[in-house]
Structure 1
Amino acid sequence: MKYLEGESNTLAGNHLSLKHYQAQHFAFSVQGTVATITLNRPERKNPLTFESYAELRDLFRQMYYADDIKAIVVTGAGENFCSGGDVHEIIGPLTKLDMPGLLQFTQMTGDLVKAMRACPQPIVAAVDGVCAGAGAIIAMASDIRMGTARSKTAFLFTRVGLAGCDMGACAILPRIIGQGRASDLLYSGRSMSGEEAERWGFFNRVVEPSEVLGAAQAYAQMLADGPTFAHAMTKKMLHQEWDMGVDQAIDAEAQMQAICMKTNDFHRAYHAFVNKQKPQFEGN
């Protein structure tokens, strides 16, 4: 990872500035406190490589410590989101690896999803055109998904002789769209249209192609302007409560909410309400 001179990395790595991060295998920009990751190989519909997988994994891991990034947008250059793993740069080499090498690769791709779910910032995906394979997984692993009617989302692993259980798909996708619908997509590998994705709840909203990135960035900015410490707690509990019973979840939420009540943002909101003003949250 490369940083510009003067950036802080203090308190044994507990605080890290990523505003000037220089990505090597995709585009990265920051507007205010919203970071935008753009998969930018439009001539190939933005496929992933071994290197971009690893850099995305490492960047999302670093986001845990990035106090200057409050929300993240993921999108693709041109008119497509991501076509998945590059056939020539990933699929071909995989056919020549031994079992330890294959397991190392599949664990790395799974670690990308783990890093996306573990980072405290909400992730908003802006999806247009092709969103296939690992691209569909990246959209799935995001917190919010903005799409277009012309988008085509496909968990196409079975089309290349692989199982649909890739990168957490069998755990996460049913929780978004339901077991039956997830089974349909993961067994068949077929494409899901943008309208179908919105109807099934995979897309939170469908907008015009020219508006999808702006809509995602505006939503991310709204989140970044809010109580970001509390948002991080919400994301954490949305993820952790999958494995909890109802009583355990209620107890865990009671603890998290009590913690949030000790934040300055909670007190700012109270005083703003009393004074009939809009609260200005600072994430602490």
Structure 2
Amino acid sequence: MGRPIGWIGPEEWMMGEQVITVESRGAVEVVSLNRGDRLNAMNEPLIQALLDYFTGLQARHDVRVVVLRAEGRAFCAGLDLAGWNYDPDGGMIHQSWRTQRMIAAVMQAMRRCPQPVIACAQGPACGGGFSLLLASDVRYGAPDLRMNAAYIKIGLGGCDMGASYFLPRLVGSSVASEYLLTGKFMTADKALACGLISEVVPHEDLLGKALALADEMLLTSPMGLRLTKDALNLNIDAASMEHAFGLEDRQQIMLGQTADSAEARRAFFEKRPPNWENR
């Protein structure tokens, strides 16, 4: 997407507020929303930083898994209305459209990046913050996690930032409709009961839980992990059962011809862990 007048680029946000932090742990990167004093609300620098990060993952095969978390007592309280750089000569519709599309592009980049995204969240996750969780591959929640699609409570439609796409596919149409038509909060226990999160974990243990799962993912072959996310993305919208099987068949035949697949077979017979080379 182009950068119109007033767009804050990565150079500007890096010189000012450090809106995200990225910690490298080998093949795992921990990305933290770093506006805890503002409940990690989405200002323009934060969205630009997330968009740049997740878009850049396409070419970074050294990163195999991403953990998404947040500093402070909230995961993300939604949109920071005072945190956007508006062109005084621009029209209201044009500027609102730009903001809308910029935030939506983050969720799309999260789904398109080849790395699994493990989210661990606490406290409020509202509006766009809820959608950050929905766009992740695996979610863990603290007991105080509260999520909602807040838009319908402020005179807008309840379907925004991918919620109408993600939520019915994750929890079914009845539960999704209940929450999107009211904007009410979903608790951690309810999210666990309907399969939206994998486990309720004490706040202080969230990161450790996510990293432990990331370590399990690292035991798999690099290309196999990437293509598994790819197949899950594509087959949730498969036109038929035949389409889904066809994609899986092609992936398996292709992966079976890689050097890593041959190494996995040797390692199995030699009773040792495989040495993955991503080839």
TM-score by length of structure 1 reads: 0.87
Structure 1 position 24, deviation (Å): 4.5
Structure 1 position 171, deviation (Å): 1.0
Which residue of 2 is the match for residue 40 of structure 1? 34
Which residue of 2 is the match for residue 258 of structure 1? 253
- Residue of structure 2 aligned with 1:241, choices 221, 235, 242: 235
Distance 2:82 2:218 in 1: 38
Structure 1 position 282, deviation (Å): 3.5
Give yes or no for the alignment of 1:191 onto 2:173: no
The superposition leaves residues 163-210 of structure 1 with CA deviations (integer Å, 9 ceiling, x where unpaired) of 122121111111111111111111111111111111111101111111
Structure 1 gap ranges (5+): 3-22
Which residue of 2 is the match for residue 208 of structure 1? 202
Aligned residue type for 1:280: N
Distance 2:83 2:175 in 1: 31
- Residue of structure 1 aligned with 2:110, choices 110, 113, 116: 116
Distance 1:62 1:212 in 2: 26
Closer/same/farther in 2, CA of residues 53 and 97 from structure 1, 3 Å limit: farther
The superposition leaves residues 84-112 of structure 1 with CA deviations (integer Å, 9 ceiling, x where unpaired) of 1113225999xx95222222221111111
Find the residue that maps to 1:269 and give its secondary structure. Answer: helix
- Residue of structure 1 aligned with 2:156, choices 162, 165, 168: 162
Distance 2:121 2:30 in 1: 13
Distance 1:129 1:172 in 2: 21
Distance 2:152 2:277 in 1: 46
Matches within 5 A, 1:50-199: 50-90=44-84, 98-199=92-193
Find the residue that maps to 1:189 and give its secondary structure. Answer: coil
Number of aligned residue pairs: give it. 263
Structure 1 position 76, deviation (Å): 0.6
Structure 2 gap ranges (5+): 1-9, 12-16
Q: CA contact under 8 A between 1:174 and 1:182: conserved in structure 2?
A: yes
Deviating beyond 6 angstroms after TM superposition, the runs of 4 or more aligned structure 1 residues are none
Q: Tell me how large the CA RMSD over aligned residues is.
A: 2.2
* Mean Cα deviation higher: 42-51 or 139-148: 42-51
Structure 1 position 221, deviation (Å): 2.6
Closer/same/farther in 2, CA of residues 191 and 91 from structure 1, 3 Å limit: farther
Find the residue that maps to 1:278 and give its secondary structure. Answer: coil
Q: CA contact under 8 A between 1:82 and 1:135: conserved in structure 2?
A: yes
Instruction: State, as a whole percentage, how many aligned pairs show the same letter.
Output: 29
Which residue of 1 is the match for residue 270 of structure 2? 275
Structure 1 position 236, deviation (Å): 0.9
Q: CA contact under 8 A between 1:39 and 1:75: conserved in structure 2?
A: yes
Distance 2:147 2:228 in 1: 27
Distance 2:41 2:91 in 1: 20
Q: CA contact under 8 A between 1:226 and 1:283: conserved in structure 2?
A: no
Structure 1 position 242, deviation (Å): 2.9
Q: CA contact under 8 A between 1:129 and 1:151: conserved in structure 2?
A: yes
Find the residue that maps to 1:38 and give its secondary structure. Answer: strand
Find the residue that maps to 1:211 and give its secondary structure. Answer: helix
Distance 1:24 1:148 in 2: 25
Closer/same/farther in 2, CA of residues 45 and 92 from structure 1, 3 Å limit: farther
Structure 1 position 152, deviation (Å): 0.7
The superposition leaves residues 209-266 of structure 1 with CA deviations (integer Å, 9 ceiling, x where unpaired) of 1101111122123213421211111111111123321111111111111111122221
